[in-house]
Amino acid sequence: MDAYIKILGLSFLSTVAAEFPQAVFVPKSCCSLLFATLGDKVSFPNEAAYNASSASYWSQQEQEVAPSCVVKPKSPADVSTIIQCLTGEEGEHLRPCQFAIKGGGHMMWAGAANIAAGVTLDLAAMNSVSVNAARTIASVAAGAVWLDVYSHVDALGLAVSGGRDSNVGVAGLTLGGGLSYFAPRFGFVCDNVVNYEVVLASGEVVNANASSRSDLFFALKGGSNNFGVVTRFDFKTFTQSKIWGGSIGYEISTKDQQLLAFSHFTDANNDDTYAALIHGYAWLEGHDEWLISNMYAYTNSEPYSGIFGTLMSITPQIYNQVRLTTMTTLAIEMDESNPPGDRQVYVTVTVANNVALLSKVFDIANTLLEPLKNKAGLRYAMAYQAIPTCVMSRSLASGGNALGLEPEGGNLVLIFLDISWKKSTDDKIMNKQARSFLNQVELLAADSGMLHKWKYLNYAAQWQDPIAGYGHENREKLRAVSRKYDPVGVFQKQVPGGYKLF
């Protein structure tokens, strides 16, 4: 009976659209066509599937966005049907509909992968992982999260170069470039994709790789959601046993030692590419001082080499969770340190590897923290991550990507500020402090000639422009690919979420 009533209601909306073509941009008419075509793969407000999709977003801001309907495809053919439904041409009763594309739903700002009064295309039901008979390729459907991948390949004694948080989506992280514990060995996550299966704006399902549609293949290595709906990623695999890793907590009194050791690590990383490190600072509600937390990974079953020696010898240590473990376990632990459901803002900047500069960046963050300390649920965190030249060299060896990073630029440090809080009434001050942090750090680094143009897309705030940081030449290449494969601009005009090319 409920389905019958729904059909009657949606048929009425379609009739209204036919009788009043000037009103055909009403989002519900888009949903009515989808429901008539795909049935229970489409859900509406207050239905269980709709509510589950909303709740699966990581940030509170994205959870609060209310689409007119959610459609959950189960195959590339379904995605093709959806795209064709949503891109009706002029002269039809249904004009093009605004929509969003959701992979894992981890991007924090409202509208990044969700849409108010539009259609959200949620890929969550497409989460399969398989490995070919030769054990060389892992094929991952676009709705998978990294836990789906690691739990599968770990059991086979294999790995892929992927994300570090178990609940982050494969699609968003990979299309934004992707950082990994394996990056010093294999480059960015996107450099390890050998084939993308993509649904284009026309609805055609195609493959993009080094020998077929190589221009689209290049563009998808960092170009985000601007070219189509990727439905499958084919990743190179490699043999991998256990990993030496985990986190160690330190008192803030060790900061100067830590920064010096981190800077030395960044330069030494080129000589030992099994090593990866996230050097983090966190201030949590209810605490009176900062905590330093280093996340170590040595992607070899042998105990870590001397590259971590100085950092590991720093005392006092508040806790030490380092041991031999699996990539699955490390990814779950990272996720547990970043719980869902809070309000969030990210901001990112990239600078040269310089201890004095990194120390001043901490001072800026510390000053901006002060007016936030009494805010409900505050988690104020900053991390430094090494981007040594070996990562860029691995990218070039894999055919290059769109990110615009070159070894000639030297070893870099990616800085990431992440602020979490509970109340929407605090949104204004949190965003203000994040903007102030970015402005001050960029000015400081620019004045000393140590600011780099690259901004990691997956850490960028809504108001940053990471694609501009790829450089003029690469952005023009991406625009040319967009014009070729999406000549009417479906993914520029109808998909407002993400970072656009034009």
- Residue from 385, 337, 329 nearest 183 by CA: 385
Residue 483: count other Cβ atoms within 10 Å of its Cβ. Answer: 14
What one-character DSSP code corresponds to residue 88?
P
Comparison of pLDDT for 33 and 305, the residue scoring more: 33
pLDDT interval class at 133 (50, 70, 90): very high
Largest CA distance in the chain: 75
Q: How far apart are CA 169 and CA 469, in angstroms?
A: 23
Coil, helix or strand at residue 421: strand
pTM: 0.94
409: tokens are 């630029």
Sign of CA dihedral 18, 65, 111, 218: negative
pLDDT interval class at 89 (50, 70, 90): low
For the cut 50, the answer to whether the pLDDT of residue 24 exceeds it is: no
* Residues 6+ positions from 396 with CB-CB distance below 8 Å: 406, 407
| pLDDT, the chain, mean | 93
Q: Which residue has the tokens 């054990």?
A: 135
Tell me what pLDDT residue 27 has: 56
CA atoms in the 13 A half-sphere facing the CB of 497:
26
Residue 422: count other Cβ atoms within 10 Å of its Cβ. Answer: 16
Residue 393: count other Cβ atoms within 10 Å of its Cβ. Answer: 16
Report which secondary-structure segment, H or E, holds 55. helix 48-55
Average pLDDT on 191-196 reads: 98
Taking CA atoms, 88 is separated from 20, 217, 297, 491, in Å, by 16, 27, 49, 14
Report the alpha-carbon angle 321-323-327, nearest 5: 100
Q: Which residue has the tokens 């892992």?
A: 138
pLDDT in tens, 347-390: 999 999 999 999 999 999 999 999 999 999 999 999 999 999 99
Tell me what pLDDT residue 95 has: 57
- Amino acid type, 11: S
166: exposed, middle or buried (C-beta count within 10 Å: 0-12, 13-18, 19+)? buried
pLDDT interval class at 14 (50, 70, 90): very low
- Calculate what percentage of the chain has a pLDDT beyond 70: 93
Let me know: does 175 contact 190? Beta carbons within 8 Å. yes
pLDDT interval class at 98 (50, 70, 90): very high
Q: How far apart are CA 298 and CA 293, in angstroms?
A: 16
* Number of alpha helices (DSSP H) and beta strands (DSSP E) in the chain: 16, 20
Taking CA atoms, 201 is separated from 87, 126, 275, in Å, by 8, 19, 41
Q: Which residue has the tokens 């160690």?
A: 248
Low-confidence winner among 82-91, 235-244, 400-409, 486-495 (lowest mean pLDDT): 82-91
> Helix crossing, 2-19 with 27-38: angle to 10°?
130
Residue 274: count other Cβ atoms within 10 Å of its Cβ. Answer: 19
Q: What are phi and psi of 469, to 5 degrees?
A: -70, -10
Tell me what pLDDT residue 230 has: 99
Average pLDDT on 285-294 reads: 93
Q: How far apart are CA 432 and CA 426, in angstroms?
A: 10
b/e code 296-328 from CB counts within 10 Å (16+ = b): bbbbbeeebeebbebbbebeeeeeeebeebbbb
Task: Annotate 151-193 with three-state secondary structure.
Answer: HHHHCCCEECCCCCCCCCEHHHHHHCCCCCCCHHHHCCHHHHE
Residue 194: count other Cβ atoms within 10 Å of its Cβ. Answer: 15
11: tokens are 């048929």
CA atoms in the 13 A half-sphere facing the CB of 494:
29
Cis peptide before 303 (omega within 30 of 0): no
b/e code 125-142 from CB counts within 10 Å (16+ = b): ebbebebeeeeebbebbb
Residue 485: count other Cβ atoms within 10 Å of its Cβ. Answer: 23
pLDDT interval class at 29 (50, 70, 90): confident
